[in-house]
Amino acid sequence: MKKIAIFASGSGSNAENIINYFKNDTENVVKIVFCNKPDAYVLERAKRLNVPTFVFGREEFFHSDLVLNELKRLDIDLIVLAGFLWKVPDAIIDAYQNRVINIHPALLPSYGGKGMYGMKVHEAVIAAGEKESGITIHHVNNHYDEGATIFQAKCEIDPGDTPETLATKVHALEYEHFPRVIKEFLDNL
């Protein structure tokens, strides 16, 4: 049985979608949800879905081995970032080489990097007059949004689209593809 740890910072709709996708899987399981915000809604979602959670602060994440030790204790095989906004420390990246993946709400390498997340990405894409956007599922390395691409899916941007309507299109791609790509990734571990 391969074990997944999801890291999330906010609402957790992608985390919930992933948990539901794997709930009847006999080969893979979402073992835990890690969160850096004690009031994030993802914690409520995880509780409702009977998935344990682990909440940590900035000091614990960046200046101790608390999170890394918990990952090791649970024998985690894959770390999935689903709306997690902090840069993952080198110690975790090194311990889970090529086993930390993220989803980004744009077609990397464009519209990535520090500070480019959520609605900020959609606003930048619309402001630039792009004709398409989408999602990028990628490996996480020591630099924001620079890990190797695993999968991309595109959507058209219509002339009347706003950042909000684009966000809806991108979320649909996330929900459709992210769990399936995680499953394929695990099958090849």
> Can 104 be counted among the known catalytic residues?
yes
**Nearest to residue 96, comparing CAs of 65, 73, 72, 62?**
72
Q: Are 33 and 80 in contact (CB under 8 A)?
A: no
- Say whether 142 counts as a known binding-site residue: no
The CA–CA distances, whole Å, from 125 to 24, 112, 130, 187 equal 37, 11, 6, 34
- Say whether 12 counts as a known binding-site residue: yes
- Say whether 58 counts as a known binding-site residue: yes
- Say whether 28 counts as a known binding-site residue: no
Q: Residue 119: which residues within 8 A CB-CB, separation 6 or more?
A: 163, 164, 167
DSSP-assigned letter for residue 85: -
Q: Residue 19: which residues within 8 A CB-CB, separation 6 or more?
A: 6, 30, 33, 45, 46, 49, 51
Residue of 104, 138, 143, 171 marked active site:
104
Dist CA 127 CA 38 (whole Å): 34
Q: Are strands 149-156 and 132-139 parallel, antiparallel or unpaired?
A: antiparallel
3-class state of residue 73 by DSSP: helix
Q: Which parts are annotated binding residues?
A: 12-14, 58, 102
Which of the residues are catalytic?
104
Q: Which parts are annotated binding residues for (6R)-10-formyltetrahydrofolate?
A: 58, 102
